[in-house]
Chain A
């Protein structure tokens, strides 16, 4: 059943009785060609592209809870392609181009909104860095525009331009960046995958892997053994816990990132703003709430909630940038578990175990990567060769010295 404007009108006239569930709730079969562990954005996208682009016949997605309940429903919905390093640029460039076509591809309204992302600069050195990044983005085929103070003022007159310590000197504007309705991404991929025959199996937790003679033959789950020609793991913050069951240690730490939403307001922030003098980013959802976030809590954790010092820190940064925020009431805050890698960049790679593949290490930037991550992981699993834009995302890159350290922080995951 294709969705369309005509269909909505037709259903409205007939009491909305014709809508059907967007995906089935199948019983797990005994054997699949490919099993994806993790029904988040990346897992569902992988299954969708396996079925739609790589003609894989029998695919299942196993999710321990319900789809869309993890980080794909917990992020601040920002999509962008403003990376500096070679290993990242072509990947995020592809991802942003895929976001632009996503809704037509999926026949699903994901509310893709290219409202522009503005990274503010507050010092001469930051302006130089922004110019360099902007030039790198242009060379990679993305868009970038360096604004001066007046250029920023024309877009956002209510920012605190006269801050004595951190005056706003300008900003790097990435017009094709923006926001996407995150739940709709999970649902759209789930529906698209389901329509192409993928079994999405919820409430099915993987408890172990069956590995014989160095080859993965399937997974043990809370709903019995499920055999698989290949198994792909895309479980974000739970990566270390799941891969440990296959005897693998990963270059990852799990940290919590908090996000916040205010009460609904009339339209006030047209795009996405990031503060250059503190870690704070903000946009306004279509419901009117200001959606914002800041730093991770800095310590290892699997609890999907953070502590108050970071709440205070984020709100201080926010109010120092947008003084008017002081009059706004905070509605909700929540946390998601990030798989923070040792260089701040992700992995899409084989593992030392035949037939077992890993997708993770997205730190707190996984949402924007969803389409390209799914496509590249599907490509890797279907063809056993890395996709050309994801060649750098190897698990062994620390051994060979090919780190992709955008921030230049070294092997300290909580600083990326």
Chain B
């Protein structure tokens, strides 16, 4: 697999390590009333879709940026690559 890094162009997937579903960006509010429940779901439950999947990859042996990669889990085709920083900021996170 090749990942089209937004800053560096096509890079071999071997340069990256994989974390998992991009929903891990959306860490729940630890002070909320239902924090115990939402953290359980956040930490342990996964959509695990067969098809399009947004996921976090870390460019470990490259520029050490986190990416949100949209990839089809049936075909391994990658359709979109974004900097995780941009995705997080677009959702209102400070970094």
Closest to B41 in A: A249
Majority secondary structure, B binding face: mixed
8 Å CB contacts to A: which residues of B26-64? Answer: 40-41, 43-50, 53, 55
Alpha-carbon separation in the docked complex, A244 to B49 (Å):
9
Partner of A254, one of B1, B13, B14, B48: B48
- A299 near B18 (CB under 8 angstroms)? yes
How does the 8 Å CB contact mask read for A237-253 relative to B, with 1 for contact and 0 for none? 01011001000011111
Which has the most chain B C-beta neighbours within 10 Å: A238, A300, A398?
A: A300
Alpha-carbon separation in the docked complex, A307 to B46 (Å):
23
Total chain B interface residues with beta-carbon distance under 8 A: 26
Q: Could you say which residues of chain B place their CB within 8 Å of the CB of A238?
A: 50
- A299 near B55 (CB under 8 angstroms)? yes
Q: Could you say which residues of chain B place their CB within 8 Å of the CB of A249?
A: 41, 45-47
Partner of B44, one of A251, A300, A303, A414: A251
Distance (Å) between the CB of B2 and the closest chain A CB?
11
Distance (Å) between the CB of A146 and the closest chain B CB?
34
- A250 near B20 (CB under 8 angstroms)? no
Check A241/B50 contact, CB under 8 A, given A254-B73, A307-B13, A309-B13: yes
Q: Could you say which residues of chain A place their CB within 8 Å of the CB of B21?
A: 253, 300
Distance (Å) between the CB of B33 and the closest chain A CB?
17
Distance (Å) between the CB of A412 and the closest chain B CB?
7
- A250 near B46 (CB under 8 angstroms)? yes
Distance (Å) between the CB of B66 and the closest chain A CB?
15
Distance (Å) between the CB of A75 and the closest chain B CB?
21
- A411 near B44 (CB under 8 angstroms)? yes
Check A300/B48 contact, CB under 8 A, given A307-B1, A398-B40: yes
8 Å CB contacts to A: which residues of B60-91? Answer: 71, 73-76
Alpha-carbon separation in the docked complex, A300 to B20 (Å):
7
Q: Could you say which residues of chain B place their CB within 8 Å of the CB of A253?
A: 20-21, 46, 48
A66: Cβ under 8 A from any B Cβ: no
Number of A-B contacts (CB under 8 A): 69
A399: Cβ under 8 A from any B Cβ: yes
A298: Cβ under 8 A from any B Cβ: yes
Check A250/B48 contact, CB under 8 A, given A301-B76, A303-B75, A303-B76: yes
Q: Could you say which residues of chain A place their CB within 8 Å of the CB of B75?
A: 303
- B53 near A300 (CB under 8 angstroms)? yes
- B18 near A252 (CB under 8 angstroms)? no
- B45 near A250 (CB under 8 angstroms)? yes
Alpha-carbon separation in the docked complex, A413 to B47 (Å):
14
Alpha-carbon separation in the docked complex, A179 to B6 (Å):
47
Q: Could you say which residues of chain A place their CB within 8 Å of the CB of B53?
A: 300
8 Å CB contacts to B: which residues of A233-276? Answer: 238, 240-241, 244, 249-254
Alpha-carbon separation in the docked complex, A309 to B17 (Å):
12
Using CB atoms and an 8 Å cutoff, list the residues of chain A in contact with chain B: 238, 240-241, 244, 249-254, 298-303, 307, 309, 342, 398-399, 411-414
Known contacts A240-B46, A249-B41; can you find 15 more A-B pairs with CB under 8 A?
A241-B50, A250-B48, A251-B45, A252-B46, A253-B20, A254-B48, A254-B73, A299-B18, A300-B53, A302-B74, A303-B74, A303-B75, A307-B1, A412-B19, A414-B18
User: Can you list 13 A-B pairs, Cβ within 8 angstroms, ordered by A?
Assistant: A240-B48, A240-B49, A241-B50, A244-B47, A250-B46, A251-B45, A299-B13, A299-B71, A300-B48, A398-B44, A411-B43, A411-B44, A414-B20
**Shortest 5 CB-CB contacts between residues of A and residues of B:** A240-B48, A398-B44, A302-B50, A251-B44, A249-B45
